[in-house]
Structure formats: C-alpha cells, structure tokens
Structure 1
Amino acid sequence: MPPISPHFLELFDVAGTPRGVHISPELWALCHEAVLPALTKALYQLDPSSRPEPEVRPEPVAEWEQLLAYWDFTYPPAYDVHCDCCGAKTADWRADDPRKFRLRNANLGGLVTFQCAGCKALVLKKHFKKHLTVECKPYVDKA
C-alpha cells in the first residue's frame, strides 16, 4: 500500500504502535465482498463474544405429547433428567423456569433427547418396552 492515500490510512500512536486502519467508503465498496468474510472470521477468533448466538428452535413439545398419547410401555413416563457431564438435574424438566434441559427430540420409537443448559451435553433417554436407558454425551463444538 502507498504510505499516503486518501483511501487507505494506517493509524499509529506516538510510540509507533499500530492502532488501526481507516478505509474510505469508495475503497470499501470495491473490496468489502472479498474482505468481509476474512475479517469476520478473524474477529470471531479475537473476540468470540461477538459471534452471534445460533437461532434457538422451539422445543418439539407436540412430538413429546404424541409419544405420551401412544405410550404403551410397562412403566409410567419419567420427567426427571440428569446430566452426568456437569451434574445438573431436575425432577421435572417441564416445570423448570428457566429450563435446565431443553427438549431436542422425541419420537414414537421412544427416543427422547435433551440438551443441558449448563454444559450443552446431550442427554438421551431410550424408552424400551420394559426398561429405560439414559446416556449422556458431552457437547462437541462443530465450528
């Protein structure tokens, strides 16, 4: 880059430490499509808190209610959830406010999954005809 330009100016403090860059609106208009993705990625590395929160889907309560409507297991439905990863637990996930566990999935095959609000682990409750098994899988960031 040229040292002096009305479109690109590197800014330094008195000690010569880089403080920033000024880009003219005209230069930004020409290069923002190519530069913005790289800047955004670098920004998320420097300041993870600037990353937008992922959109939270509503809980599939209708699927849970459908499972209850067709419940033919030899034991009553259980509403308690426990996370082996962080130790969070609740006697009734539906009554918590705020939720300690969010319902992620429920199906007629008897698989019900929850996500722990504390550590984001996945808690799987597998309902079989005569028994229930529970698994806890730690959260894995896919980013």
Structure 2
Amino acid sequence: MKTVLSSTPEETIQIAKEYAKTVNPGDVICLEGNLGAGKTQFVRGFVQGLGLAGDVVSSPTFTIINEYDGELPVYHFDCYRLEHVEEAVEIGSEEYLYGDGVCLIEWPDRISELLPPSSKHVTFSIIGKTEREIIFH
C-alpha cells in the first residue's frame, strides 16, 4: 500500500502518469472515491502516461465505457448509473475486463462480482478544497 497527497489537479495528473508506467496488459484498476475526488483527472494523467492526449478523456457516465487506443488500450468504465450488474454484462464488459488492455473503473462496487480477484485499487479522498489523498493498494 502506498499513500500520496495531491494539492492540485495537475499533481493528480502527474501521479497518474507515473502510475501508468507500472501497469501491464490485462490489469484492472478500480478507482474508488466520492464525486469530485479526482478519479477522472487521474484517468487523464494515466492515458497521457501511455502516450495519449489527456483531452480525449471525458467521464463515460452515459456511455458506460470509453476506449482510448494508445501504446496499450485503455478502457475507462463509469459504472455510476448502472442499477444492476446485468447491465454491465449486456454491454460486454467482461470482454474488456479479461482482455489485453487496461481497465480503469469508476464506481467498481456496482460490478464487483465481475471483477477479477487480481484487481488493483486506488482510493481517492477529499481532504481540502483541492487537496486529495490517493491510496494505491
């Protein structure tokens, strides 16, 4: 387990760029934290760390999954609006979760029974107006 503090969205992006260097094809990374805690900023930095422009990232709240093709495919899930795990199954999420890309999942508790046991977790906590605590476990 590793804990880091971020004072700005730019720092969160930089932390994520560094973290992206540590992932492998097939990794599933669960991003946990309240609305506004920095999860989407983290995804922006993560895809930049894999050679993409961060401005391609938007929260996939209405599409559920956004795909980013870089050095390694990144699949960005936002499960916030899912009411039943079956909805994730219907859109083919298991193909992504057990594929060769990297999955970043916001609100992973909504699909917890689909997640591989080897999933990694990153927890975001708001500790000030722009300050965030980010825990990697």
TM-score (norm 2): 0.22
Structure of greater relative contact order (alpha carbons < 8 Å, 6+ residues apart): 2
The structure with the greater share of residues assigned to helix is 2
* TM-score computed with the length of structure 1 as normaliser: 0.22
Larger radius of gyration: 1
